[in-house]
Amino acid sequence: MKKSALFLPPVILALIFTVLFIIFNFNPAVCAETGEVKTVFIKDGESFDFIYIPAGSFLMGSDLSDADRDQTEWPAHTVKISRGFWLLKNEVTQSQWQSVMKSNPSYFKNRSDAGNEDSPLDNPGGDTQKYHSGRDNCPVEKVSWYDCEKFIAALNSKEVGVFRLPSEAEWEYACRAETQTSYYWGDSIDEKYFWHMDNAYNKPQAVCSKLPNKWGLYDMSGNMSEWCADWGKSPHDRSGETVCDPKGEPVGEYKVVRDGNWAIRAVHSRSARRSLKKPDDKDMYTGFRIVWEPAVK
């Protein structure tokens, strides 16, 4: 065989790439396995572990079979997530925030009773050892939606890819991880998976100290409620139609916040649970996590 025959002409390569892109949304920057972890290092700062979430479809919201459903969660409807994405494994920690913003707005900082040093370990092992070691690994709080955008802008200036908040649909899709139960572990409360009012010692707890979901994400239920990118409207902003990559309302007064937190009842940490807050609100109950879009090389 001639050496030249081993190489495909550029036009054929371009055709193959185009077909892959159309059929599989193939993107060399995000070609990864479900649940794969990549660590992003920030110069002179903390590292961030991101989990690969695959493209797919799911039933968003709760249906009439869920006795604890809220009217803002239904009708349940099919949502397609057309592209895989990388989602931060944990709620952004005080340490991660401090390393980027050179400040720490959290109420629960430098407090001898902050963190879960006195709390039982449900996840002894690697991640717990990494995140359980100090109170800086409690999630950052008292950050408004606008504060989160400033943090993201600062990260984006580091030239290690593009960061953003997840859409609400991306958040619930990643939270459920192919489950349709009330929680990502089943339909009943299981203390091994989440921090809520009755087990959190009246304070936020160090991230990753409970068990993760199927895709390796921690605290998608409980600990801190989490800001999403979307504008929402109260009390009801959903149709039952199938949608692709929904982004919420074009404008609004409120931003969507997902999952429960350390200060409210466990039932508020169901996978379908949603609420709204004004984007300049900041409190001890709401944090966030981020999406990373690797630079295309």
168 binds Ca ion (CB under 5 A): no
In one-letter notation, the amino acid at residue 205 is Q
259 binds Ca ion (CB under 5 A): yes
170 binds Ca ion (CB under 5 A): no
96 binds Ca ion (CB under 5 A): no
Beta strands in the chain (DSSP E): 37-41, 47-53, 56-60, 77-81, 85-88, 162-164, 225-232, 243-244, 254-258, 274-277, 286-287, 291-293
CB of 145 to Ca ion, least distance (A): 15
Token pair in block for residue 232: 């929402």
Give the C-alpha separation, 253 to 80, whole Å. Answer: 26
DSSP 295: P
Please name the residue that has the structure tokens 């074009």.
Answer: 250
Torsion sign over Cα 124, 285, 179, 26? negative
List the x/- string, 11-50, binding to Ca ion by CB under 5 A: ----------------------------------------
CB of 11 to Ca ion, least distance (A): 49
Give the C-alpha separation, 217 to 219, whole Å. Answer: 7
CB of 223 to Ca ion, least distance (A): 5
141 binds Ca ion (CB under 5 A): no
Q: Which is nearer to Ca ion, 98 or 225 (CB)?
A: 225
Find the residue with minimal CB distance to Ca ion.
219
Span interacting with Ca ion, options 7-15, 97-105, 110-118, 251-259, rule CB under 5 A:
251-259
271 binds Ca ion (CB under 5 A): no
CB of 90 to Ca ion, least distance (A): 9
223 binds Ca ion (CB under 5 A): yes
CB of 269 to Ca ion, least distance (A): 8
Token pair in block for residue 68: 């604890």
Residue 267: strand, helix, or coil = helix
Span interacting with Ca ion, options 38-46, 114-122, 199-207, 257-265, rule CB under 5 A:
257-265
Residue 235: strand, helix, or coil = coil
Residues at the site binding Ca ion, with contacts judged by CB under 5 A: 219, 223-224, 259
